[in-house]
Amino acid sequence: MFKADRWLCLCATALFLASLVAGQYYVEEEKEAKSNIVWCATSLEETYKCRNFTKALERDVALFNDFFMNVTCHHGFDHDECMALINERKADVMTLDAGEVFSGGRFHSLIPLMQEGYEGGFTQYHAVAVVKKGSLPDVTNLRHLRGKKACFAWVGSHAGWTVPIYTLQREGGMVITDCNNIVKIATDFFGPSCAVNALIDKYNPIGDNSNKLCSLCTGPVSGGKCTPADPYAGFEGAFRCLVEAGDVAFLKHTTVEEMVESGIIPGVSVDQFELLCRDGTRQPISQYRQCEWGNVPSHALVVSSATTKTDHRRFKKFFTKAVNLYSSKQRRYNSTLPLGRNDGQDDRYRPYQSPYTTSSTTTYSPFTSPDRAAYGNESQPYETFDLFESRRYGRRLNLMFQDAARHLAPIDEDKQNYQRYLGKALDEIYDTRSCPVGRMMLCVTSDAEYEKCIKMRTALKAQLIKPDMLCMKAHSHITCMQHIQSGTADVTVLDASDVYTAGLHYDLMPFMSEVYDLGLPEYYVVAVAKEEDPDTELTYLRGKNTCHSGINTAAGWVYPMAYLISNGWIRPYGCDSIRAAAEYFTKSCIPGAISKEYNTGIPYDNMCDLCHGSSFRYCRRDASEDYYGNSGAFRCLVEGGGHVAFVRHTTVIENTGGKKREWWARDALPDDFELLCPDGTRAEVNEFKKCNLGKVKANAIVARGGRGYNGTELNAYINLFTYAQQFYGRKFSDDFSFSMFFSIPPYHDLIFSDATRGLRVVDSDKRWFDAYLGPNFMRARRITDCHAGANSLSISAFGSLLFGVVTLFWSRCMF
């Protein structure tokens, strides 16, 4: 008996502890669950409605049982600001149209939690084009909309922007003139129009959008015109634009009836308007199913993807209960509750009235018109808050939720992402961003460059920059030139001297160039020596150890060797500059000097004695050799035993004064080095303008020229790099960002020079190699290269003529 009592006691104790733990877990889970919501509103009117919602919740807190949540309201400037705030967890919820669900999901990690349901249980609506009845008799098909005055809800709206652009691109002759700016495409098609947000950074990244799509908007110029505060913003604003100024408006199928019923615009009726169908015919407003331009998923309630599943459940239960309590339309839809007004505290937001007033009141809104104010003066003790009604708050409809909504439908957990939610609409969004050029293959020459290329491709894809960029690793720059000529690759970045080789032998042409601190696509070639080594002079380098950026590079070889040979300091051996250098200098590092691709003569081993690469990387003319490039040549001077380095004028400043984290440059200061001048004197490193070996053109991006020239492809490549540098042209990078002009240590100048401050389009009359490089470089190259000379000039002249003919042909075809 004693044992049985003891076991019973133990079991009871175990049950008690288990229930205590379970209860504690339950309490902890409830404690962690969110009990406050910040609603982000995008207009003053929506803020008023949101505050009325909070008043209603305070009154009816007991009706929510365990699902009650405190709601506070934040007024954001626009949808983009609100999306950013939700992503940063400074706000919690808002509603977005399908086009913005895409932006919110892709760029702000927002997910759709619930979506609006409309009459009949539908969770989608129809995109339509509306015109005034009897107007535009010349428009019998969609192509005739070219040059017309259009009214859009806002740029990025699915029904009011994406669907019409998508349809006109496929059926209306809208030509893609800019692969990365849909606003420019619409600008080229329509006449003066109103498309709110057409000039914001999001849709105008390089700042050159025309004002044409804002010229019809009527907001105040300072901060209001063509913004969400413009009277022509939103679907109701686009309808007003049509009534007052436009030829065609792109709306939801419910917009016309909503605006007519609201009385916001007096004197208009539904029969004054008609639908423009995709086949050019007209239909009454009521026939939207037969005359739609597309179906659009309903607006969605979005939250941060970082929100917990527990909070998801609470949000769904809370908003479902709120709809049941505060939607007269939902009650009519369900036919469960009689239509009427509840007795209770007035929940309207009055910024100038005490919230504790209990006497009979009049509906207040700072936006209410005198007529509506008179209507509101009817004696009515209290008025119920309606979640799907917005007329009382001013001259805007569809605040917080669409007024046509009847209920909120929870979205299944496996569909709570923008891709699954949008479905076919996602294809329409992507298709409006299509490009006639499908890809651009960038050719690089080392593993480090290939890795950076892959990161760049990922970064461009994240911003949807077209055409799609692909990467190819080749054995050398010469191989890259061959791949581009054959069509296997499309572009590569070359040193000025390689631009010469690419143009002379492979018909490649420079179309964009790097720009450094001079503000022009050029730089100075300088000779650098250590300040502690006063015996090294430019006029007598016999027996010295020299460091070069690479064989046949402009700064590291062509200009210094041309100077030394032309001034008689080195025996020329005709034009065999490699032999001349090998016999004049004791040791050097000239990456590529023993490569058969760059040295078709005798390889001289002392030309690579100072190089640092291991195994097959030794003396290679790419980033796998530590002493390759301008920074590599400078490193050779610092640690590799060199007496002089021939580099770009920016190199010393780039690698000294703590700008480099690598150990070899950590203690180097600019004052530790001096420039060697042509007259035998020395100068400070910042005096390169008076102490240099000449000025040379910057590195350039090259593509096919000659017979392989394609103007459409070239313009697409220019467009891609222009937008790429706008998004990723910053000078510094970290683990979570990408920079085109930054190389991860210990590497330098990967793909682009680290000294680059931007890319500039090469003028069309300078896109043949000799025109780009100029006469001084051509003369220097002839001094140092036996394969350069009069023959190259004749080929160059023929190439220039051929290029001019092809360019003229393409310009006529395009325009």
Binding positions for hydrogencarbonate: 159-160, 555-556
Q: Which residues contact 582 (CB under 8 A, 6 or more apart)?
A: 604, 606, 607
- Degrees to nearest 5, angle at CA 148 with 147 and 153: 120
SS3 call for 472: strand
Alpha carbons 548 and 146: distance in angstroms, whole number: 58
Give the gyration radius of the chain's Cα atoms.
Answer: 35
SS3 call for 670: helix
Alpha carbons 89 and 83: distance in angstroms, whole number: 10
| Backbone phi, psi, residue 16, to 5° | -65, -45
For residue 40, what are the β-bridge partners? 74
Return the exposure string of 221-257: e unless at least 16 CB atoms fall within 10 Å of the residue's CB, then b: eeeebbbbbbbbbbbbbbbbbbbebbbbbbbbbbbbe
By DSSP bridging, strand 522-530 and strand 673-676 are antiparallel
N-term to C-term CA, the chain: 105
List, as residue ranges, the binding site for Fe(3+).
97, 125, 299, 495, 523
Side-chain half-sphere CA neighbours of 310 within 13 A: 9
Could you tell me if 116 and 299 are in contact, meaning their C-beta atoms sit under 8 angstroms apart? yes
Cis peptide before 467 (omega within 30 of 0): yes
SS3 call for 588: strand
Structural tokens at position 36:
């406050």
Distance of CA 514 to the CA centre of its chain: 21
Side-chain half-sphere CA neighbours of 562 within 13 A: 25
Single out the residue of 128, 112, 87, 140 nearest to residue 249, CA to CA.
128
Could you tell me if 339 and 331 are in contact, meaning their C-beta atoms sit under 8 angstroms apart? yes
Alpha carbons 632 and 500: distance in angstroms, whole number: 22
| Backbone phi, psi, residue 330, to 5° | -70, -35
Structural tokens at position 99:
């086009």
Cis peptide before 266 (omega within 30 of 0): no
For residue 377, CA distances in Å to 20, 149, 165, 371 come to 59, 41, 46, 10
**Cα-Cα-Cα-Cα dihedral sign, residues 223, 227, 233, 234:** negative
**Conformation bin of residue 294: beta by default, left when phi > 0, alpha when psi is -120 to 50:** left
List, as residue ranges, the binding site.
97, 125, 159-160, 299, 495, 523, 555-556
Alpha carbons 704 and 681: distance in angstroms, whole number: 44
The full DSSP string for 740-758 is: TT---TT---SSS-TT--E
